[in-house]
Every structure is written in structure tokens, then in C-alpha cells.
Amino acid sequence: MENFYSKLKQRSFWRSGVVDVSPLALADIYSKKWTINPEWEIGTAGSCFAQHIARYMTQNGYNVLDVETAPNGLKPERRQAYGYALYSGRYGNIYTTRQFRQLIEETFAPSPQEVLIWEKDGRFYDALRPNIEPSGFATAQEVADARAYHLERLRILFCNVDMFVFTMGLTEAWVHQRSGRVVPIAPGIIAGGETAPDYSFVNFSYPDVVADFQAAMAVLEANRSKPLRYLLTVSPVPLTATATGGHILTASTYSKAVLRAAAGFLSDNNDNIDYFPSYEIVTNPGNRGTFFAANLRSVRSEGVEVVMKSFFAQHPPETPHPGPASKQKKAVVSTEDVQCEEALLGAFGK
Amino acid sequence: MKRICIFGNSHVGALKEGVDSLNRQGALNSVDITIFGSHRDSLKECVVSDGVITSDSDFVRTNFRWTSNGQETVNVADFDEIYVVAGQSFFFVAPFLTRSHLPPLSDTIIEDIMTHRLDGWDMHLARAIAEASPQTQVTHLGEPFFSDEHPRSLNFLREHRRKGGQMPARLDKVQAQLDSKAQEIETENFRIAKPPEQVLEPNRVFTRHELCKDSIGLNEDRDIPHRSDDYFHMNVKYGEMVIRTLVL
């Protein structure tokens, strides 16, 4: 006798979809919504894990834009320390959809917004991307000049991209109370300790995450003349610390659940948004935790490789993917080879 | 009479032309200039040993022989001054540019780029020459800035005009930090010199294109002009200006 489950594929059952298959090659876990045209210009942003996706796409022939390249004479191995060559712009990690929204709103704002500046030891930092200058700027004016240039470049990016890859990372953030803007890391970790009273903690809910992303899309649509597609992913990297006061495991699970649900909702309800399950591929119980490094947070190179293999199975690269023994691949997937200021919070653990 | 050595790659060609021209004008009576040239980056293979610049490369030694009228090695102490014309000029702003423009740069990024530049083989060689003979003044001059009609120069200058006041401020900052760094690393007998102002266009970023026209290659047997789209090698006028300003 038939029932609703009788004609479903093997992938739809836990045993045949997860238990009995290799976690290194999950069949049918991702079916693309649309084909990525090789001519498309692609933008990338998100939490630390997004750096892997951006680099893999670039090295596999996708036309990933970088509108804010490093000066020619800055050694390649020094570029990431200054926030270059990580994403399509020098915005650093964008952990929350609120950050993404406010960046796009600021990019297209009719008049310049106040620049949030942090100070430490006589040096000045852009509070919205404090990690791009490890030693800060010499003056507050330099921060403002660099931000104006950054936004000028981002207008080019956001007006030209055909597809944007965004990796959602966190729900917890710190809000500057007067301006309502969120910063990527709590004041005082990198700089700006004396401004801490100006900030309050927020843990974004599912409606917040969805609404922020929709608002970002609306601003982009209003300022562009061609369609834009989005590829959403959720970072599998757990939180380093929670400011909720609760247990880090429940806090991390909450954040990831909210982000995963929001990404799913956005994808289910918009033809131009596709969801790619990097989160599921890495956290699959079939891996028995082996995709995580010893700190149980960083994703090991093997995990990144499996994630990207699943992606390229649906979106074959323009140029062949380098083999496992290649030097290039090794350079791409090192677990330590990402810039992640959120990891600094770990230093505060007792 | 001051004994001067000009040591470098194909860009010594313009200086050689300048020296020959000034000699014809009788303007070099107080100096004795010897040129040691070898093409491209073959000077990377030079070492300074026991006060002598030598190379295992037949190519380099052969080039030294004909450019200097007979010497295959350079005895550093034989000269009062040595000018190293190899590697990018420390004062050339190209390393600070992106494709077509100069972004606002922090002092730490500028420092990072300068440090990398000072770690180049040509800088190491120039310093090694200076260490070999304390009484010899060694100057790293580097290659000429490229012409202001190079496509990248034109892009930059267009952007420069479009940006009004922003770009000059950024440029001033980089140039001021370059000046300061050059002073900081100067020693008793080693310095880094910039090209004379008069060879540069008003922004001091590129060489005036007229000094690039009709340049002649560094060749032993005959004068072969550089290609018309060579924006890097300079002509006799450039050579004269550099010799008059820096050497005389």
C-alpha cells in the first residue's frame, strides 16, 4: 500500500541519506535553482567561512569581483592582514544580516553617514571594520577618508554584480545605541574600549534576520538596473563566545538555527535566492566531528573540500578544480588561513 | 678628478648617451665616469666579495667589459661615487597604486610596502657595495619612472584630475613618507636618490614622455632605437639631466 513516503528518493530518508552513505560524497544534498552564467560578475561577503567560498570560486574560474584591490607593492602574504583579497570589497567579515543591510544602506545613502571611530593607544579604527588595519590609522580623518573611498568602491560593486554570495554567521551583535548601527565585534576587543557604554548587546531573532536581508535586497533593487541573484549559506563554524550569559552550546545552536531557518525561508520564497547547504555538509553527524579541527570550531581543509566539491558538482567550474595534491589547493583551505576577528573572543574565556 | 661609476641594467644606456653628449660639450672635465651595464635583471647574479663586484655569469662579465672599456669586475674602492641604476626607483609610486588609482593608504601599509621594496635584491646589492668600501659614496637611483604616456600612467592621471583635491593629498602623504624613510636609512656612505624634478611631470609620479622618445638601446656594436611603444627607457636628454643634477 502506498503512502506519502513511498515514492520519495533515498536522499529523503535518514538511513539511506545519511547513515549508509559516505559523508565525503553526499548525493543530491544540493540541487541548484539556476545555473551560474560564466559571464556573471559575482560578489562575496559574510562571516569567516565565506572566505573559503570566495577563494575557491575565484580559483575555479568564476568571475568574482574585487573592487578594492591591494596596492601593487603590498606582498601577497600581507594583503589579508589588511582586509584585502578576502571578499569583493574591503569590508572584513560581515557576520550578521543587519551588518549587510546597513552596509548597503550606507553605500547608497544620499548623504554621508557619521563614521563610527574607535581609538586605542593613539590610533584610530573604523568600528564597522576594525580588523582591516591591524595597527589602526594615524588620525580619525584618515579613517573617514578610507571609509569614503570604501563606499565609493562598493557602489561600483553593488551596481555591477549579477550574483551575490552571502554567508550568514552570527545573530549576536553590539549596537551603537545612538546611531542604531551594529559593529562586527564588541568594543574593547580590538579597540574602542572606552566607548563600550555607548553600545548594547542584541541577539537577532528569526524575524530580524529575515527582515534585514529583505531590506538589503530592497535597497539594492532600488539602486540597480539589472536583476540580482543571491546564493545564501550558513557558516558551520560555532560561536566562539556568547554575550547572552547562557551556555555557549545552546547560544550557538540558537544562532545557527535562526540563520538556517531564515536562509531557508528566504530561499523558499524568492526565485532569485538559492540556499547552499555548507552548514549541513560540515555538521553532518556522519562525519563524527572529523571536519572540525581540534578546537571543534575551525573547519578542517577536508571539510571545506567536501563542501566545495558539492557546490561544484552542481556548478561545474570554468577551469578544472585543482587535484588534492596541488599546492594551490593547500594554500586555499588551511583552517588557519582565514581572517576572523570573532576568534579573538576566545582569549576572554577563563 | 672625481671618479664615478654608474652601475646598472639597460637603463644605464640613457646615462651613457648623456655622458657621451656631455663629454662632447666639454662639461665633464672634472669627473671620470665609468659605466658598468648588463641587461635586464642579470645583475642579480652579482656579488660583492673582498671589495669587488663580480659575477659568475659570462653574460654579465662580457657586458661589463664592453660597457666599461675593458673591466670585467668593479673594484669598489676605485671610485669616489657609485650610482646603482637597477631595480625600481624607491621613489616610484607604482607599488602604492592599484590598477589605475591611488587609494587612501594608512601609514602602516605604506611602511609595509616600503619595507618590502627595501628588501629587493637591488637594494641589498647597493648596500653590500657601500659596505665594501666606506670611502665610496653609494647611491641607489634605480630605474627611471615610466613615461607619463604609458596607458597606466594616462589612466592614473585621468583619475587624478577627476578626483580633484583628494589624489594630491594621498600622493603627498606617500611621497612624504618615502622621503622620510629614505632619510632614515641613509648611512655615512649610502643613500637613495630620486630622479631630478625636471625629468618628471608635475605630479612627480612619471617621467615626461619627451624624455622617452628616440631612446637608444644598450648595445655594443650599433645604435638600435627602442621600440616606439617602449615607455620605460629614456633618451640622451634624460641622461644629460640626470648626470648634470646628480653627478656634477
CATH assignment at residue B186 = 3.40.50
Tell me: pLDDT of A336 over 60. Answer: no
Mean pLDDT along residues B98-111:
92
Tell me: pLDDT of A328 over 50. Answer: no
Q: Exposed, middle or buried, B195 (CB in 10 Å: 0-12/13-18/19+)?
A: buried
pLDDT at residue B130, rounded to an integer: 98
Mean pLDDT of chain B: 93
Residue of A nearest to B101 (CA): A71
Test mutation, B90, B96, B105, B106, chain A, max A CBs within 10 A: B106
Residue of A nearest to B97 (CA): A71
State percent of chain B over pLDDT 70: 99
Is residue B131, in this structure, part of any structural domain at all?
yes
Distance from CA of B107 to the nearest CA of A (A): 7
Q: What would you measure as the largest C-alpha separation in chain A, in angstroms? A: 76
Is residue B215, in this structure, part of any structural domain at all?
yes
Is residue B27, in this structure, part of any structural domain at all?
yes
Going by C-alpha positions, the residue among B209, B180, B233 that lies closest to residue B37 is B233
Tell me: pLDDT of B112 over 80. Answer: yes
CA angle (A16, A290, A30) in 5-degree steps: 45
Tell me: pLDDT of A321 over 90. Answer: no
Tell me: pLDDT of A289 over 80. Answer: yes
Q: How confident is the model at residue A337 (pLDDT cuts 50, 70, 90)?
A: low
Whether chain B has a CB inside 8 Å of the CB on A134: the answer is: yes
Tell me: pLDDT of A46 over 60. Answer: yes
Mean pLDDT along residues A105-112:
96
CA A234 to chain centre: 8
pLDDT at residue A348, rounded to an integer: 65
Q: Are A51 and A339 spatial neighbours (Cβ–Cβ below 8 Å)? A: yes
Test mutation, A132, A145, A154, chain B, max B CBs within 10 A: A145
First to last CA, chain B: 12
Residue of B nearest to A147 (CA): B104
Mean pLDDT along residues B6-34:
95
Residue of A nearest to B98 (CA): A71
Query: Do B94 and A70 make contact, defined as CB atoms within 8 angstroms?
Result: no
Mean pLDDT along residues B193-219:
92
Mean pLDDT along residues A194-222:
98
Query: Do B113 and A142 make contact, defined as CB atoms within 8 angstroms?
Result: no
Cell triple for B121: 635584491
Reported as type and span, the H/E element at residue A279 is: helix A278-283
Within the 142-161 window of chain A, which residues sit less than 8 Å (CB to CB) from chain B? 142, 145-146, 149
Q: How confident is the model at residue A332 (pLDDT cuts 50, 70, 90)?
A: very low
Distance from CA of B114 to the nearest CA of A (A): 8
Whether chain A has a CB inside 8 Å of the CB on B107: the answer is: yes
Mean pLDDT of chain A: 92
pLDDT at residue A160, rounded to an integer: 97
Q: Are B45 and B55 spatial neighbours (Cβ–Cβ below 8 Å)? A: yes
pLDDT at residue A334, rounded to an integer: 43
Q: How confident is the model at residue A222 (pLDDT cuts 50, 70, 90)?
A: very high
Within the 43-102 window of chain B, which residues sit less than 8 Å (CB to CB) from chain A? 94-99
Tell me: pLDDT of A103 over 80. Answer: yes
Compare A317 and A322 and report the one with higher pLDDT: A317
Q: Are B144 and B201 spatial neighbours (Cβ–Cβ below 8 Å)? A: no
pLDDT at residue A97, rounded to an integer: 98
pLDDT at residue A324, rounded to an integer: 43
Residue of A nearest to B120 (CA): A73
Reported as type and span, the H/E element at residue B22 is: helix B12-24
Is residue B82, in this structure, part of any structural domain at all?
yes
Whether chain A has a CB inside 8 Å of the CB on B168: the answer is: no
Tell me: pLDDT of A270 over 50. Answer: yes
Range of the domain at B205: 2-89+114-146+182-247
Mean pLDDT along residues A294-305:
94
Domain count, chain B: 1
Tell me: pLDDT of B115 over 60. Answer: yes
Cell triple for B90: 624607491
Distance CA A36, CA A283 (A): 26
